[in-house]
Amino acid sequence: MKILHFKALGICLLLGLFASNISPLQAQDATAETEDPIVVFSYMKSKNGDYAHMEREIWKPYMNQEIKDGRMLYWAVYSVNFPSGKNTEYDFVTINVYANIGQLEKAWEGYEKRMKKIHPNLNLEKLDKRTEDSRDLVWNEAFRLLSSANSKIGEAAKVIVANRMQSKPDKYNEYMRMELKTFQPAHKIAVKQGHRQNWHFLSRAMPYGTEYQYDFMTFDTYESMTQMAKATPANVWQDAHPDKDIEAMWAELNPEKLRTLMRGEVWLNITYANGQDKKMTEK
């Protein structure tokens, strides 16, 4: 079950703005000495109830050891709560977080040997068959983790609101600046005040091009759906931008001119690994 995984939802690295309209793999910050974490999303369509059991029983211990060994940063599995139903394209998402593209490239080298150390009695051929019987891998995509409101790696967010964003033509950099300069400070305040668990901003890495209809993702994360449903108080924005007239700031900013929200989904965590056994609680 060679599913690509990606770097922890919560590593915050400093970001240099990418040049627009070129491959994200070619776009480099001229002053950056470190790479952004790489997050790989694998979208799964389950065939039976065994899929979630297999992720918990087989893959969680393996991924936890991978993190301890420094081969990746974080791993989690989410069920897609909205949309849902038999006609949806996928109903689960795995998230693998890597420190950089090099970690991703080497992620599965020697996989069989390491798996046998974790599960010495496991028949890998039977595991492959069980995997194929339990789910279809619909789609893989990789994003760069550009920034987070809270950079600590801890327990997985119980709820993720995954927003897929497409920047407007020639507004790529302006949209990024809006997220980083206007939205991120407010999200940091919201986290400190307990209105959300975290926020993450990601840009497309692979595959890329206009065919894919969204070049960014934002993750709003919460401790519960009840927390998610509560409106963020207006004071959060004023606290984040004390020198601004907030109504005038929004009128000037006008986010709809910079990006289009292509799709929003609600994901619920079912299991995760962060390399810290004492915090590993089953969902």
Domain membership flag for residue 212: yes
Q: Would residue 2 count as lying in a domain? A: no
Quick one: 194 exposed, middle or buried, by C-beta within 10 A (0-12, 13-18, 19+)?
exposed
Which structural domain, as residue segments, surrounds residue 163? 38-279
Please report the pLDDT score of residue 35 as a whole number: 86
Query: For the domain that residue 156 is a member of, what is the CATH number?
Result: 3.30.70.100
pLDDT at site 23 = 32
pLDDT along the chain (283 residues), means of 10: 39 28 34 75 97 97 97 97 95 97 96 97 96 97 97 88 98 97 97 97 96 97 97 94 94 94 98 79 52
Pairing outcome for strands 74-82 and 135-148:
unpaired
Phi, psi of 260 (to 5 degrees): -120, 130
Q: In the prediction, which pLDDT does 276 show?
A: 85
Q: Of 204, 106, 144, nearest to 7 (Cα)?
A: 144
Question: Is 147 part of a structural domain of the chain?
Answer: yes
Q: What is the pLDDT of residue 155?
A: 85
pLDDT at 27: 37
Residue 1: inside a domain: no
Please state the domain count of the chain.
1
Q: Is residue 15 part of a domain?
A: no
* Domain annotation covers residue 11: no
Residue-wise burial string across 84-112, b where 16 or more C-beta atoms lie within 10 A, e elsewhere: eeeeeebbbbbbbbbbebebbeebeeeee
